[in-house]
Structure 1
């Protein structure tokens, strides 16, 4: 038997996954609704249906589903660029902001490189970093549920390639001010890509967070990450985007899975940008409900940090967290629990929010 035949000979060995995959924690999505009376408040989805303009545009484009989408998303990139006041060469798109983030980490990190981020923050961060063979560096939030930028700066090493700043932070809802990020950028090496993840930026009050576009124009190592999944109500179509220097943006487009953003998603995103005023009216209603809920809960003794997302964050130890989840489950309300940290609750319509308030009022103090 030749050596080549031995290599193909059947045996008892089986293919195995990479160790980075077998040791990877699974991303845990928000639980899904299972009935008409269930309030699905675990995934930070918009409780509104998609914008009418997006529905109309998708319906008109549905007849071409037999064709591949534009893999370069040229028209959508042009529309995003016009919306932000940049060029299409500075825009890369992907299947949700998490898809674009995977392109970022793939494009910049070799095995053993480091990615710094706050913790607790977006659950997908460590998963994407470890999948790329890089090393996640988690920096605990400060006592105000915000990024500890001094500690993050101190954690920078020669292997640091990317720093992720989630503002407003998911799941705590706290924004990072413009001044703090600018001071941070003045310290960080210019060869480190600083990603300002703004998945919830539309829900933030003016002045609560950074002027990310101004920072982007001043610091070439800044990348802005955004999504159509939240305020624009397109979570089911998966489309997000990054704005970065032309060289970085081109690299992100190279690392993207071909045809990863469907034609329907591109169509819906473009139409949604054209319906910006209607989106802003919906966001204003969510912000009003968020403020109402926070005021009532604080009056009942709950201590909350001001949320700038479409959700509220309840800091809770495991005992309180378990009691809250049990109460919410009995009331057919799905919320997101984080072991050892707390509970995140999406702000929805007033009736659903009132159901949440009744549960939390019963557990106040």
Structure 2
């Protein structure tokens, strides 16, 4: 059976002019990152630092959190998988997450052999936290929440999240998967690092794949209090992150002002694309991520097919929804033209 959030069989044309299907950062590596990689490549005959100490120290300074509260892994997927495995040693353990959602959550559930409880999103394409609280049973040991939601881009409200966590048993771990947190500008949205400071049971996952543009290097990290971090250290194998990955991540953190400039440019493009889609009759929720979601009722198959014909790769899901990554201005303009064509054809019929 196909996972609910899996892709349909619309193939990715390798000759696509614009790839807006993979949530990739369209910018090449920063100059400082390239220099760090060029230096590190001279030592690829050596094993990397298994502790990632330099990167952990840089992350500690960046977030103003203790080094002991950080663990580095092969992006957020590996860390989440190891956490679910570690917390699910008792028979009958369950995990909970929204549906539709990041397809990796279904993969984690299968690989860890932990059955999920899937709670539908609200009509506003947001987490249904009251619904999740109502569905929570004693067997649920971990709740996975992506903030902003990884499909729709809708962030979790800070007040609502704190209310949700306050109602949970103290031993229920809440994972805030914040791979796109750098793109959030909603002042009412929760920030996982702030939440972690107030709750012992919260784990924050962050990634260097998106805002930092280091997707190929697969570097992620978790921030949590020491009991959970100690549990993760027992699960994540050494030498997970290459010296190239560590060097690039450190250089990117040290050049974070330049990362922020690129993020701001993508946010401007996100606003332009959202406004155009809305103008042409589509109904995307307001995204706070590096992508935009079109709900199933928005003629998504026709949209994806026309994009495919125009050399634009987008992500069509089996539930009928469509995710569009924010690309270069040229790529976004091409997609806007597709939206306009569909609108004009619909108006003429």
Residue pairs, 1:223-242, within 5 angstroms: 223-242=203-222
1:274 aligns with 2:254: yes
Deviation at 1:33, TM superposition (A): 6.3
Asked if the contact 1:176–1:209 (Cα under 8 Å) also holds between the matched residues in 2, the reply is: yes
Cross-structure match for 2:160: 180
Residue pairs, 1:329-348, within 5 angstroms: 329-348=308-327
The one of the two structures with greater contact order (alpha-carbon pairs below 8 A, sep at least 6) is 2
Distance 1:67 1:322 in 2: 49
Distance 2:320 2:92 in 1: 29
Which of 280, 284, 291 matches 1:300?
A: 280
Aligned to 1:169, the other structure's residue is in SS state coil
1:327 aligns with 2:295: no
Segments of structure 1 that go 5 or more residues without pairing to the other structure are 1-22
**Displacement over 4 Å in runs of 4+:** 23-33
Change over 3 Å in CA distance of 1:203–1:75 after alignment to 2: same
Post-superposition Cα deviations, 1:156-194, rounded to whole Å, max 9, x if no partner, equal 111111001111111101001101101101101110110
Deviation at 1:31, TM superposition (A): 6.9
Q: Which region of structure 1 is more displaced relative to structure 2, 211-220 or 144-153?
A: 211-220
1:151 aligns with 2:131: yes
Which of 330, 335, 346 matches 1:351?
A: 330
Cross-structure match for 1:98: 77
Deviation at 1:206, TM superposition (A): 4.2
Distance 2:7 2:320 in 1: 15
- TM-score calculated relative to the size of structure 1: 0.89
Structural RMSD (CA): 1.9
1:44 aligns with 2:30: no
Change over 3 Å in CA distance of 1:28–1:326 after alignment to 2: closer
Deviation at 1:360, TM superposition (A): 1.4
Distance 1:316 1:27 in 2: 14
Aligned to 1:231, the other structure's residue is in SS state coil
Distance 1:141 1:285 in 2: 29
How many residue pairs are counted as aligned between the two chains? 341
Cross-structure match for 1:141: 121
Which of 167, 188, 199 matches 2:147?
A: 167
1:203 aligns with 2:183: yes
Aligned to 2:205, the other structure's residue is in SS state strand
Cross-structure match for 1:8: none
Deviation at 1:326, TM superposition (A): 1.4
Aligned to 1:242, the other structure's residue is in SS state strand
Asked if the contact 1:117–1:138 (Cα under 8 Å) also holds between the matched residues in 2, the reply is: yes
Change over 3 Å in CA distance of 1:28–1:234 after alignment to 2: farther
Deviation at 1:201, TM superposition (A): 0.5
Cross-structure match for 1:6: none
- TM-score calculated relative to the size of structure 2: 0.93
Distance 1:273 1:24 in 2: 38
Aligned to 1:236, the other structure's residue is in SS state helix
Deviation at 1:155, TM superposition (A): 1.4
Distance 2:22 2:73 in 1: 20
Aligned to 2:40, the other structure's residue is in SS state helix
Distance 1:296 1:84 in 2: 36
Segments of structure 2 that go 5 or more residues without pairing to the other structure are none
Post-superposition Cα deviations, 1:43-86, rounded to whole Å, max 9, x if no partner, equal 00000001211111011010111111111211111111111111
Deviation at 1:336, TM superposition (A): 0.4
